[in-house]
Amino acid sequence: MASVKLTNVKKIYDNNVVAVHDFNLEIKDKEFVVFVGPSGCGKSTTLRMIAGLEEISEGTVEIDGEVVNDLQPKDRGIAMVFQNYALYPHMSVYDNIAFSLRLQKESEDVIYDKVTKAAEILGITEYLMRKPRALSGGQRQRVAIGRAMVRNSKVFLMDEPLSNLDAKLRNQMRAEIILLRQKLDTTFIYVTHDQTEAMTLADRIVIMKDGYIMQVGTPDEVFDMPDNLFVAEFIGAPKMNIVKTKLVLEGGKYYVTPFGAKIEVTGEKGDELRKRKVPAKDILLGVRPEHIQLTDAGHDSIPCTLVVDEMMGSELHLHVDTADGTRLIVRTPTLEMSKAQRSAMVGGAKLHISFGGNAMHLFDAQTEKNLLT
Amino acid sequence: MKKYSDLEFLRLSKWQKFCYRIIAFFCGIPGAIAGFFLNIGKTIQKGFQSFIAELKDIAITFTTGDWKTKVSYIVMGFGNLTHGQFLRGIMFLLFEIVFLFYMITTGGYWLSMLPSLGHQGPTKEYNAIYDQYTTTYNDNSFKILLYGVLTIFFIVAFIYTWRANVKQCKTINMILKRGGKLKRSGDDLRSLVDESFYKTLLALPLTGILVFTVMPIVFMVLVAFTNYDGAHNGYSNALFTWVGLDNFNTLFSWQSAGGGQSYSATFGEILTWTLIWAFLATFTNYFLGMFVAMMINKKGIRLKKMWRTILVMTVAIPQFISLLYVSKMFARNGLVNLTLQGMGLINSPLPFWENPMWARVTVIIINIWIGIPYLMLITTGILMNIPADLYESARIDGANGWQQYTKITLPYMLFITGPYLLTSFTGNMNNFNVIYLLTGGAPTNSAASGAAGSVGYTDLLITWLFKITTGAESQYYLASVVGIMVFVVVALISLVVYNLLPSIKNEEDYQ
Amino acid sequence: MATKEKTLVETQQRHMGMKALNRISNTAVYILLTVISIVWLLPFAFILLQSFRVESTSPVGYVIPQQWGLDNYLQLWNSDFKRWYINTFIIALFAAVFVTIIQLCMSYTLSRFRFKLRGPMMRFMLILGMFPGMLTMIILYRVLADLGLTQANAVPGLILVSVASSGMGYYVSKGFFDTIPKSLDEAARVDGATRLQVLYKIILPLSKPIVIYTILTAFMGPWGDYVFARYVAFGTSAGYNVAVGMYSWLTNDQIAQMYTTFCAGGVIVAIPVTILFLCLQKYYVEGVTGGAVKG
């Protein structure tokens, strides 16, 4: 139960590769923060510096107000769950969970109580005598979490804990981590490359790329108002459609002109543009697939040709080409679609799409920064 | 040479591709060599730069440091002691005292004698009363060289420690400025089983290597520049002294030394045979061992474990027993010859160890007998690790057994065992046991023997080296030169092969 | 229709052909393996048989003794062989203990710790290894002689020498340690273990194969060590190990009297080592295939 503060943290490897540049972040007590980004973005390195498994090249890491740069991992008051579980193969599940307590010279009675209690919470009581080898992936993951749980640590670190599980189990464990978090009520730092995990688990998401923080914010913030093109494309699935186009100003109104169409930027976004007096320029227009609607032919609609249709169950992902050859993805619910409509959705079908003026994300073509942040 | 792009290369015929690769390889050699020397140059430059940086740092620490730091430049550990780091401080101080004591009492003497390796050899005096000569032993070249080297080691260690002591002062000041806590003696001791545990673990092994490998090698390399031999043992008969590059000149001059063949011709002959031997010994064992392993691994062959155990058993029996026994089996009046004669197949004994060619071939064949079980073990493990789907897909593509071997098994094996083949090659170059216990170098090569001791047709550089040191003249200096040459050859081969090995270049290919 | 039948027949033939071919090749493999086994075992069978020969002590043109007996073993008992055997055994025992400790320290450190001098150190040792080890004999002999550890006292000298530089042979066990995931160490350190505790609570229990492999190879080494033992113990029978001692029996002036005794000695030396080896074969194979190749 503690805050974590990283000030100007930098990691330079021996071969002079800079893995993390000038990382600044304050994590509040009991907050659940997720570091997310593609592989090699420095998220795991940052976590391992907090854990003390990686030397901090520059800057300071504070846990609960104390600078821990020179402390060994065991003295930092942390617990950690590893990607490959890192269970001690020669010890039973019980001994695995009891390991840290034994090192602290706890009495066997206390150890028994703590281990069985943790096992109960995680539903692994019946496996306590087994060796890790005899467990399934999900069970191993629970043991790893149990081992971290009994430590009564100030900060709970998780390094891609679900990435070795299959998709179904991952969803299940994700829900369990949310429950666990409610029970433990401590500070969590969670690393993942999966944006869905990040969105569902986090209080705050830290999106990283090439060692830099791209954006820090709540799931809503990063989804609705991505700071830059990278975040926009990284968060959300399927990923945001990006079109190169122009922002024009006509009679006090802003328009974008993708694929020959002319769409007004309306709502808050239009107001904000006017307020900031943004000049007309080349931009990258982003529209999320779920914000594009199928419509009938009309003067606002954009004609296009269906190339591929992917049936996802409750929704349909349509890959369409506009008149100028731009490929877009449209996500449309199947619930209200008639059989006839559905069977018309085959390659080559002519469709019409439209999207609202407030659903658009506008990025500067050069800097790739959001025009509105 | 014209460089082809990937697509152009693919258009070439098989033969053109082969030629292109060969040419590319040879064209690459000068570049590789240049790169090697460039690297050396860079390393030297870097070393020089960091040396300058060190000097600067030392000066800056002195000028910016407080009086405690300044005193530490003379009294080592003073900074630590005055800041409560007693353990470190005392260690530094103790080391300085021991060093100064050693240098004043004995070290200085050894160092001063090192350039001459002693002035006064043993002297004999006639003692009229007892009517006999008494010998007075004076300087001892061997000890001077040995302790001189040790003293230099000690001085280097002292400089390093002194530098560490200066660094300590700097760190102390930095930590204090930051407002941090200094490590106490207790922390230091604790860290020896934790973050500095590696120091504890390495202390013993590294000391052993330093004293029993590094120091002797430095000593022996120096011996190559002296005239140390049986007649100049540096103590009881005559001193030895520095002779510069004379020994190398002797080895490389084409003029014969005192009649007979020149050293360089002898050396060349032995080196050639050593390389041929190493090549044949390595690859016959490798391929035949792989062949045996594949036979045992073949689908449908039963009793796999039994076949393997039979061969493995022969690994366990100490080599000197099997080698000596087999050596006698093939002797002139050995089991093989006597049996063949008894059966009437031959009239006179076969010259297994008497004819140079016979001896060389026999040695290689017996080495196969010795080596196959070991290679079988190594290759079995790797063969079983080759993913089965590679073979399945090859069979679907229509590859027959031989094609599967050349296109899948062999490339995979060569890739995985590349480094092993290299060490095995250099190991065979220095394979003393097999040669010495089988033939002892025989048959004698009378042309090559002479000043350099007795040399045989099956002698490797390493057995020759042994003979030189144990022979009548004990030409240690020559042994040392030969040893250095062995090093040079091994290092060159390793360097070239390492730069060619795919396992090092593209580590991920087969993973 | 006809063509269809034809292809059917062809297919059948092809299948038959494959089966027959397989049978033939398997038979060939069996024959070859049998021949190989015989060739590999024969010399050892000869040694065993000749060790029981009573009628003559020199090399002869036949293998099966005409007169069987334990004379050669008695002869062994009455010779210096006992001493040599004990010498070798002591060296092997000490080497097994200390070489194992030193090599494991070295390889564990190089596998697990990243310190500034690690790279240069490994490169330096690689280069050192390219010098023929025999070169160092000359000076080590003089140093050992000064310490009084040669000739009759060769045993402690040989132990010292064989143990001291053994750190250079870290490759195989480092290869093994590298296969134990580093995250185990890290998990244990987060759990509150010091590096020392990580070593003996986590790593060592997982390293049984490589520990046994190292002990086995370290123990077997001295039984075959000829050159250094010969150098250090030169001329003094009391300091010989079995290799040096038994080598002297096969020199031209002794072979006629001692040939069969040599065979008996070979049997006595080979039996314990071979039994030990066969019992621990599994670990040896694991070590050789796992580590040797990677190193």
Question: What's the CA gap between A122 and A137, in Å, rounded?
Answer: 14
Q: Any idea what the CATH number is for the domain that residue B344 is in?
A: 1.10.3720.10
Same-domain status, A286 and A228: no
Between A151 and C16, the more confident residue is A151
Residue C295 has pLDDT above 50, yes or no: no
**pLDDT of C3:** 55
Each residue of B174-203: pLDDT tens digit? 888 766 677 788 888 888 888 888 999 999
Domain that holds residue A35: 4-233
pLDDT at A27 over 90: yes
Asked if residue C1 has pLDDT above 50, the reply is no
Picking from A80, A105, A111, A131 by the largest number of C CB atoms within 10 A of its own CB, the best residue to mutate is A80
Domain-embedded: residue B176: yes
A94 pLDDT more than 80:
yes
The verdict on B299 and B439 lying in the same domain is yes
Query: Is omega for the bond preceding B443 within 30 degrees of 0, making it cis?
Result: yes
- Domain enclosing residue B205, as ranges: 67-219
> What residue in B sits closest to C271 (Cα-Cα)?
B317
Residue of higher predicted confidence among C97 and B455: C97
Residue C294 clears pLDDT 50, i.e. is over it: no
Are A193 and A56 part of one and the same domain? yes
Give yes or no: residues A70 and A198 share one domain: yes
Q: Let me know whether A131 and A49 are in one domain.
A: yes
Tell which wins on pLDDT, C18 or A198.
A198
Mean pLDDT of A125-138: 91
At B27-86, the pLDDT tens digits run 877 877 888 888 889 999 999 999 999 899 888 888 888 888 888 888 888 888 888 888
Q: What is the pLDDT of residue C4?
A: 57
A151 and C191: CB-CB below 8 Å?
Answer: yes
- My answer on whether A148 and A282 are in the same domain is no
Please state, in angstroms and rounded to a whole number, the distance separating the CA atoms of residues C92 and B141.
Answer: 35
CB-CB neighbors (< 8 A) of A70 in chain B? 180
A chain contacts of residue B180, beta-carbon cutoff 8 Å: 70
Pair B46, B121 in one domain: no
Q: Which of A187, A217, A233 delimits the end of a domain?
A: A233
C-alpha–C-alpha distance, residues A58 and A44, integer Å: 17
Residue A157: pLDDT above 90? yes
Residue written as token pair 């065991």: A74
Q: Could you give the number of structural domains in chain B? A: 3
**Hey, is the C-beta of C22 within 8 angstroms of any chain A C-beta?**
no
Of A18, A51, A14, A12, the closest CA to residue A35 belongs to A51
Q: Is the pLDDT of residue A28 over 90?
A: yes
Residue B508's pLDDT band (boundaries 50, 70, 90)? very low
Work out the minimum CA distance from B212 to partner chain C, whole angstroms.
6
Confidence of residue B1 (pLDDT cuts 50, 70, 90): low
Determine the residue among B211, B213, B469, B484 to mutate to test chain C binding: the one whose Cβ has the most chain C Cβ atoms within 10 Å: B213
Residue B229 located in a structural domain: no
| Preceding peptide of A238 cis, ω within 30° | yes
Q: Across chain A, what does the average pLDDT equal?
A: 89
- Cα separation, A168 vs C127, in Å, equals 53
Whether residue A170 contacts residue A94, with contact meaning beta carbons closer than 8 Å, is answered with no
The number of domains in chain A is 2
What phi-psi label fits residue A339: left (phi over 0), alpha (psi between -120 and 50 degrees) or beta?
A: alpha
Q: Report the C-alpha dihedral over residues B121, B122, B123, B125, rounded to 10 degrees.
A: 170
Chain C residues near residue B377 by CB distance under 8 angstroms: 284-285, 288-289
Across the interface, whether the CB atoms of B213 and C196 are under 8 A apart is answered no
* A72 interfacial to chain B (CB closer than 8 Å): yes
pLDDT tens for each residue of B416-439:
888 888 888 988 998 888 999 888
CB distance A88–C183 less than 8 Å? no
Task: Assess whether pLDDT exceeds 70 at residue C252.
Answer: yes
What residues of chain B lie within 8 A of the CB of A72, using their CB?
194-195
C243: closest chain B residue by CA:
B320
Please check the confidence at residue B412 and state whether its pLDDT lies above 90: no
> Do residues C294 and C177 make contact, with C-beta atoms less than 8 angstroms apart?
no
Residues A177 and A266 in one domain: no
A35 & A106 share domain: yes
In angstroms, the first-to-last Cα distance of chain B is 34
**Confidence grade of residue B506 (pLDDT, cut at 50, 70, 90):** very low
ipTM exceeding 0.90, yes/no: no
**More reliable by pLDDT, B500 or A31:** A31
Q: What pLDDT, on the 0 to 100 scale, is given for residue C10?
A: 61
Give DSSP secondary structure letters for A15-71.
Answer: TS-EEEEEEEEEE-TT-EEEEE-STTSSHHHHHHHHHTSS---EEEEEETTEE-TTS
pLDDT at res. A44: 92
- CB-based contact B314 C41, cutoff 8 Å: yes
Q: Among A175, A203, A233, which residue terminates a domain?
A: A233
Contact B486, B461 (CB under 8 A): yes
Let me know if residue B224 belongs to a domain.
no
Question: Could you tell me which chain B residue has the CA closest to the CA of A67?
Answer: B180
Residue A1 pLDDT: 60
CA distance B202 to B224: 31
Asked if B468 and B479 touch (Cβ cutoff 8 Å), the reply is yes
Last-in-domain residue among B186, B219, B252: B219
Assess contact for B108 and B89: CB atoms under 8 A. Answer: no
Among A9-18, A125-134, B88-97, B466-475, which is the least confidently predicted range? Answer: B466-475
Percent of chain A scoring above 70 in pLDDT = 100
Q: What is the pLDDT of residue A363?
A: 92
Residue of B nearest to A72 (CA): B195
Q: What integer pLDDT is reported at residue C20 of this predicted model? A: 80
**Given this model, what pLDDT does residue B505 score?**
44
Let me know whether A112 and A16 are in one domain. yes
Q: State what percent of residues in chain B have pLDDT above 70.
A: 94
Distance from CA of B83 to the nearest CA of C (A): 27
What is the rounded (10 degree) CA torsion for A294, A299, A305, A308?
-20
* Domains present along chain C, CATH in parentheses: 80-294 (1.10.3720.10)
| B53 & B72 share domain | no
Residue A202 has pLDDT above 70, yes or no: yes
Q: What is the pLDDT of residue C6?
A: 58
Of the partner residues B195, B204, B314, the one whose CB lies closest to the CB of residue C105: B204
Q: Summarize pLDDT for B141-176 with one digit per residue, the tens.
A: 888 998 999 999 999 999 999 999 888 888 888 888
Which residue in B301, B479, B490 is closest to C29 by CB distance? B301
Does residue C16 have a pLDDT over 80? no
Which residues from C are below 8 Å from A79, CB to CB?
Answer: 190
State whether A222 and A247 are in the same domain.
Answer: no
Could you tell me if residue B231 is inside a domain? no
Question: B124 and B58 in one domain?
Answer: no
Interchain CB distance below 8 Å, A74 and C192: yes
